[in-house]
Amino acid sequence: MAGPRVEVDGSIMEGGGQILRVSTALSCLLGLPLRVHKIRAGRSTPGLRPQHLSGLEMIRDLCDGQLEGAEIGSTEITFTPEKIKGGIHTADTKTAGSVCLLMQVSMPCVLFAASPSELHLKGGTNAEMAPQIDYTEMVFKPIVEKFGFIFNCDIKTRGYYPKGGGEVIVRMSPVKQLNPINLTDRGCVTKIYGRAFVAGVLPFKVAKDMAAAAVRCIRKEIRDLYVNIQPVQEPKDQAFGNGNGIIIIAETSTGCLFAGSSLGKRGVNADKVGIEAAEMLLANLRHGGTVDEYLQDQLIVFMALANGVSRIKTGPVTLHTQTAIHFAEQIAKAKFIVKKSEDEEDAAKDTYIIECQGIGMTNPNL
């Protein structure tokens, strides 16, 4: 299997964990040996952190590969993948490292495994600087399933910063190929709903206050829709540690989904958390795209692998998305075109079409 190594500079563009996730997933899928150097070179704590290590080890285990240089603080790794196998795989960040990011790196790989997979992911489910598990379930899942597969996401325990301690089990069957997607018609917003949660010692009033503040904020801009945000007290046996946060989803007539979310921090009042999520949602609704800024980059790898031309309409293209495109082109040889949307209704907005000619990856095991 081992051809020439793909060389990746881990310090360019996003310059962080995302480069590792995209490059190791593609290396694993395509059977290409990989070397990543200057890992997180520009970050305040350069090199691998525990959550990056658990992601790398998971990919290694998924395909019985060889991994060198994988220790905390390391700025260079080499990875030699073998055949992707199904079955049960466990990854534990041992911190509040995000289970959602572990899912991001492993999901494309297990789609092309020889048999069904069960991924046991441990860490933070609702953590900063990463999608919340509610986002993964309520937005990412229904959209990514348009590529022609389904997965099941079972939240066993929720875990919060700084302790983590959450666990999610993801089950999925392999596919022969992925279908391309076309998400260019946004439609109009038909529903807005969400959940405001408290866990551990935080009083339920905090959840109610976050929800109420978010509803007030949205009403100023969108008057004619009922906004249904449920305050939730996470059951004691299903949450580890203390946390609070909110996620709000807007759904459109064509099935597009947008989100705004926010997590509570010590000393930040509940209203502020609710308003931050509401403002994020409203900003994501203003740009005229069919996906929000967080879904953009999560779809790139799937578009690159799909059999045919995919198109998504977005707001401003994020650095994460530009980074994912760069490595999908470099490693998978997919072809992307990003251009300003030419629709009249988008004329005054910062709206783009990301088009990809996928490589039509075929599962060799099926």
Question: Which residues have a catalytic role annotated?
Answer: 320
If you compute the radius of gyration of the chain from its CA atoms, what whole number of angstroms results? 20
Confirm whether residue 296 is marked as ligand binding: yes
State the alpha helices, DSSP H only, in 31-114.
50-62, 99-111
CB 219 within 8 Å of CB 281: no
C-alpha 327/C-alpha 19 separation (Å) is 8
Query: Is 51 flagged in the annotation as binding?
Result: no
Is 298 annotated to bind a ligand? Reply is yes
330 is in an annotated binding site: no
Residue 132 token pair: 């919340």
**Cβ within 8 Å of residue 265, ≥6 positions away:** none
Contact 83, 58 (CB under 8 A): no
Tell me the sheet residues that pair with 123: 166
Closest CA to 235 of 160, 153, 131, 157: 157
Verify cis geometry, omega within 30 degrees of 0, for the bond prior to 180. no
Classify strands 87-92 and 117-123 as parallel, antiparallel or unpaired: parallel
* Residue 104 annotated as part of some ligand binding site: yes
Q: Per the annotation, does 297 bind a ligand?
A: yes
Angle at 314 between CA 101 and CA 337, to 5 degrees: 95
Sign of the alpha-carbon torsion through 355, 351, 279, 218: negative
- The C-alpha atoms of residue 324 and residue 318 are separated, in whole angstroms, by 10
For residue 123, give the H/E element and its range.
strand 117-123
Residue ranges for the known binding site are 104, 294-298
Residue ranges for the known binding site for ATP are 104, 294-298
